[in-house]
């Protein structure tokens, strides 16, 4: 399979997983807005928004490094063990530190949903680590399936907890956390990630290289957050959570374009990393530079 066919195949696989969930979210939007008030929906959106802000800071973007470093060792299980063990142990340490810090400062946070913010961050870390591992292994089918499953399970959870049990905001937050943990556990066993984790394989030299790669990605992630989500903070400060809920609903439609771009970008970053040292890499990159 040549480079163009490989890129097209990966894009098609990821598209199926992403687009299906996007359509389901659109179709169920009237359901959510009929059950939740704009203020309640705004609370859920803020929890998810601040989770996306804090996760790169807490994790130091090592999940992105996990994908990038695994690409180069796909046929070397010993190197996989070193990379996965090192990054997973580091991520666990960061999660523990986050829990300790949150326990000390939680009394300063007045909202009753503060613990959901912490648990949603931790669940997001778990899910993203497993998804990026699947990508690093070259298993884009599992990556797309995991992305689809996470969204699908959240939708099922929302319908059950919002409509049948009528838990309101709590139901939607529980569904978000559960869906991500479910996806993380499934991929953990589906990809046999447990077979590549060993404390003995943790390597300080590899961690140093990983952090050298991942740390510069933090400002990039924060800038994307500012462009895509910082307006929620401004709306919250001046108008309140009700208006933030309305803004979030409106964002669902404009985010459709970003979804299509992200699908191609995911496939492209893998192809670029795989073929950056090929003899014809200049020709390949020139063919697609206008799209990325």
What are 247-268's pLDDT values in tens digits? 666 666 556 566 666 666 666 6
Residue 111 in 3-state DSSP? coil
User: Using one digit for the tens of pLDDT, what is the confidence trace for 65-87?
Assistant: 998 899 888 889 999 999 999 99
CA dihedral 228, 25, 265, 57 (to 10 degrees): 50
4 against 218, higher pLDDT: 218
Strands (DSSP E) contained in the chain are none
> What's the confidence (pLDDT) of residue 89?
96
Name the 3-class secondary structure at 98: helix
233 has pLDDT over 90? no
Q: Which of 134, 106, 125 is nearest to 196 (CA)?
A: 134
Would you state the pLDDT for residue 169? 86
Do residues 180 and 150 make contact, with C-beta atoms less than 8 angstroms apart? yes
Give me the mean pLDDT over the 207-226 stretch: 87
- Spell out the domain ranges in the chain: 3-286
How high does pLDDT run on average in the chain?
80
What proportion of the chain, given as a percentage, has pLDDT over 90?
35
72 phi, psi to nearest 5 deg: -75, -10
pLDDT at 283 over 80: no
Report which of residues 42 and 251 the model is more confident about: 42
pLDDT for position 230: 67
Confidence label for 93 from pLDDT (cuts 50, 70 and 90): very high
pLDDT for the residue numbered 39: 79
**What confidence score (pLDDT) does residue 262 get?**
66
For residue range 108-157, what is the model confidence (pLDDT) as tens digits?
888 788 899 999 999 999 999 999 999 889 888 888 888 888 888 988 89
**Residue 292 pLDDT > 60:** no
Region 45-65: mean pLDDT is 88
- C-alpha separations of 86 from 46, 90, 148, 203, 206 in Å: 32, 6, 28, 6, 7
What's the whole-number mean pLDDT along residues 166-189? 92
Residues 6+ apart with CB under 8 A from 187: 130, 131, 133, 134, 142, 146, 193
Residue keyed to tokens 């530079």: 289
Instruction: Round to whole Å and give the CA distance between 94 and 201.
Output: 18
pLDDT for the residue 71: 87
Rg of the chain, C-alpha, whole Å: 20
Q: Which residues contact 198 (CB under 8 A, 6 or more apart)?
A: 81, 85
């Amino acid at each position: 399979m040549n480079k163009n066919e490989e890129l097209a195949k990966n894009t098609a696989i990821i598209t199926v997983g992403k687009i299906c969930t996007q359509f389901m979210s659109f179709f169920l939007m009237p359901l959510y807005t009929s059950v939740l008030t704009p203020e309640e929906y705004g609370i859920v959106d803020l929890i998810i928004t601040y989770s996306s802000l804090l996760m790169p800071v807490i994790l130091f973007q090592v999940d992105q490094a996990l994908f990038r470093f695994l690409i180069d060792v796909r046929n070397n299980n010993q190197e996989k063990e070193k990379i996965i063990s090192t990054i997973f142990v580091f991520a666990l340490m960061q999660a523990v530190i986050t829990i300790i810090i949150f326990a000390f400062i939680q009394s300063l946070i007045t909202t009753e949903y503060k613990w959901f913010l912490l648990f949603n961050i931790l669940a997001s870390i778990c899910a993203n680590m497993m998804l990026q591992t699947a990508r690093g292994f070259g298993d884009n089918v599992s990556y797309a399936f995991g992305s689809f499953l996470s969204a699908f399970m959240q939708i099922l959870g929302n319908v059950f907890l919002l409509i049948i049990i009528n838990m309101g905001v709590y139901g939607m937050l529980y569904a978000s956390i559960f869906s991500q943990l479910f996806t993380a556990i499934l991929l953990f066993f589906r990809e046999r990630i447990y077979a590549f984790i060993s404390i003995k394989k943790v390597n300080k030299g590899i961690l140093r290289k990983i952090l050298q790669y991942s740390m510069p990605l933090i400002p990039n992630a924060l800038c994307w957050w500012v462009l895509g989500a910082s307006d929620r903070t401004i709306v919250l400060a001046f108008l309140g959570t009700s208006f933030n809920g309305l803004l979030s609903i409106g964002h669902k439609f404009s985010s459709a374009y970003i979804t299509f771009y992200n699908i191609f970008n995911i496939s492209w970053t893998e192809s670029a990393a795989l073929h950056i040292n090929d003899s014809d890499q200049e020709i390949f990159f020139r063919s697609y530079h206008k799209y990325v």
